[in-house]
Amino acid sequence: MPEFVQFLVSGLTVGAVYALVALGFTLVYNASDVVNFAQGEFVMLGGMVTVFASAAGIPLPLAALLAVVVSVVVGLLLYWLAIEPARDASPVTLIIITIGASILLRGAAQILFDKQFHKLPSISGDTPVNLLGAAIQPQSFWVLGGTAVIVILLYVFLERTVLGKAVLATAANKLAARLVGINTTTVMALAFGGSAAIGAVAGVLITPITLTSYDVGTLLALKGFAAAMLGGMGNPLGAVAGGLLLGLLEAFGVGYISSTYKDAFAFIVILLVLFAMPQGLFGRRTVERV
Amino acid sequence: MLQKIGHRYLTLIALAVIVAALPLIFPSSYYFRVASLVWVSAFAAIGLNILMGQAGQVSLGHAGFFGIGAYAVAIGPAHFGIPTWAALLIGCALSSVLAYLVGRPILKLKGHYLAIATLGLGVLVALVITTESRWTGGPDGMPVAKLTLLGWRVSGSDTWYWISGGLLLLGTWIALNLNDTPTGRAFRALHDSEVAARVAGIDVARFKLQAFVIAAAYASVAGSVLAMMNGFINPDQAGFLHSVEMVTMVVLGGLGSVVGSIVGAAVLITLPQVLTVFQEYEHLLLGFIIIVSMIFMRDGIVPTLSRVLAKRTQS
């Protein structure tokens, strides 16, 4: 039982980060049809900027805030400088552009920061909490709680505010949204900025547990994408469920099967899901028009 | 028609002349090495271009096949005592079979679903190579035995220059010919519209699979040759970044243009060599080049240039 709880909590913790990355993917995908492979770099930026800002003497909460702001600025620049000029390009071209952006950001981080691994202090210390016999790091609760808060905030924003409804309208049908007077360019910029902020928060929360370095983004982007795919592309709740599920699969796979292929689980899952049900677990079947 | 055939041989002859003439201006063996690297990468890019440019299907995991070819010539002789040249063929066969088996379900997918599925496949291959260190030497890589053909030990950067150059000519010849066969025409029909192709009686699934297998075989052979040439191999060759580099060569040079793939490979291989002073900035520059070329030269270097030239001659 303690073993099971241990795997469960660590799975949910890592899964929460995948869920946040997947949520960022979904937000951008819904607003602009772009699959943003640079999504993982926002998580990296969140962690790295906080580490280096606090090392420079800025108090930790302010450093974290700065990291979120930097990520949002980078997200907006990515949209205005790289995505907007290539708006009418094919999906594959846009994917390659975002991959280029991810390589560029990683290269910049390598120069501006360094190639070392970095750790942040846990918010409530490192004394493990006993939960049904399992030793849980208090930071896990911060990660899970933070993820819950972000999901709820996003939900309220999308369902209860005019701007949020504009985002949903743009996701549903861009042309129709424009016809009823929605500025879809603003909505898309908002989506990129928002997804960058979500990624940065994930980076700040998870760094005390998993450490961070300039190259953590790629694998996170790939796994976040797997999570989004698992939940059904374009479905925010599906993205969260997919992320948590993927985290659990990894944790139990490592715990009960083998730890050598920890990173392989996500990709085996992607392939199986794509083979068996290309629309994901919670996605709708779409009819392609010619 | 006649003009088309003429054009094809003109391309091939021009390429042969370039391969033959370049050594005349090479001051040192270092240049032979870089040029061989370009030929091998161009060979892989031409294969990938058959899949991407002709059949219109993307693969973000092609370095996986490259890696299989590379590790085949490393593992075959070291662990099983197979001659290196036979290991190359075995690697090529393995890649083709894997492409065939996985391609069936994968190629039903479209757009970014296909991109992510091929990406997953490539990452899995790289993970296996990195993890099975008993066979592959793990993240540190492993040495590759020298190629021996009929008692002749192949070595020296100029020898490999001629081998890789010959290989490139062969690859170009096959790709150019393929363009004008029913298979090549079926690929192009797929590219333009899958539905229209199906209506015209083309077995869409079969031709997509064929293009995937051909591209995998090209990548595998390129991987084998690179491994033999370098005498050493590490898992980076099978990694995601290398897959992206291959796709960038194809798209940068021009989708569907055989010459474009060679130009794309030449740019992406020589640029880091020229910029070694900025070694620290390599990733930054690679990312920048990818973004800028995708935005401003969406059709690729060769198609863009030939359009400009055609306009010139017209006016």
Question: pLDDT for A96-146, tens place per residue?
Answer: 899 899 999 999 999 999 888 888 888 877 788 887 777 888 888 999 999
Contact A223, A24 (CB under 8 A): no
Query: Does any CB of chain A come closer than 8 Å to the CB of residue B281?
Result: yes
d(CA B249, CA B269): 9
Residue of A107, A218, A278 with shortest CB distance to B113: A278
Q: What is the pLDDT along chain A (290 residues), one digit of tens a residue?
A: 778 888 899 899 999 999 999 999 999 988 888 889 899 999 999 999 999 999 999 999 999 999 999 999 999 999 999 998 888 887 778 888 998 999 999 999 999 998 888 888 888 777 888 877 778 888 889 999 999 999 999 989 988 898 888 888 888 888 888 898 888 888 999 999 999 999 999 999 999 888 888 888 888 888 898 888 888 777 888 899 999 999 998 898 888 887 777 888 878 877 888 777 766 666 655 554 44
d(CA A137, CA A118): 18
Binary contact (B131, A226; C-beta < 8 A): no
Q: Based on the number of CB atoms within 10 Å of its own CB, is A214 exposed (0-12), middle (13-18) or buried (19 or more)?
A: buried
- Taking contacts as CB-CB distances below 8 angstroms, the residues of chain A near B60 are 95
Asked if CATH classification 1.10.10 holds for the domain at A2-276, the reply, yes or no, is no
Query: Does any CB of chain B come closer than 8 Å to the CB of residue A223?
Result: no
Contact B190, B204 (CB under 8 A): yes
B residues 132-191 lying closer than 8 A (beta carbon) to A: none
Contact B117, B106 (CB under 8 A): yes
Closest C-alpha to B227, from B75, B34, B45, B81: B75
Binary contact (B120, A111; C-beta < 8 A): no
Closest C-alpha to A158, from A175, A171, A173, A143: A171
d(CA B203, CA B200): 9
- What is the structure's pLDDT at A290? 47
Which two three-digit tokens encode residue B284? Answer: 């930054």
Q: Taking the domains of chain A in order of start, what are their residue ranges?
A: 2-276
Rg, C-alpha atoms of chain B: 19
Binary contact (A107, B294; C-beta < 8 A): no
Which two three-digit tokens encode residue A289? Answer: 């028009």
Comparing alpha-carbon positions, the chain B residue that sits nearest to A37 is: B116
Residue of A86, A93, A274 with shortest CB distance to B117: A274
pLDDT digits 0-9 by tens, A192-225: 999 999 999 999 999 988 888 888 888 888 889 8
Interface test with A, best of B51, B281, B283 (most A CBs within 10 A): B283
Contact A47, A118 (CB under 8 A): yes
- Taking contacts as CB-CB distances below 8 angstroms, the residues of chain B near A83 are none
Query: Does any CB of chain B come closer than 8 Å to the CB of residue A70?
Result: no
Beta pairing partners, B233 = B142
Which two three-digit tokens encode residue A176? Answer: 């129709």
Rg, C-alpha atoms of chain A: 19
Query: Does any CB of chain A come closer than 8 Å to the CB of residue B311?
Result: no
Count of helices and strands (H, E) across chain B: 14, 4
Burial readout A113-141 (b: 16 or more C-beta within 10 A, e: otherwise): beeeebebebbeeeeeeeeeebebbebbb
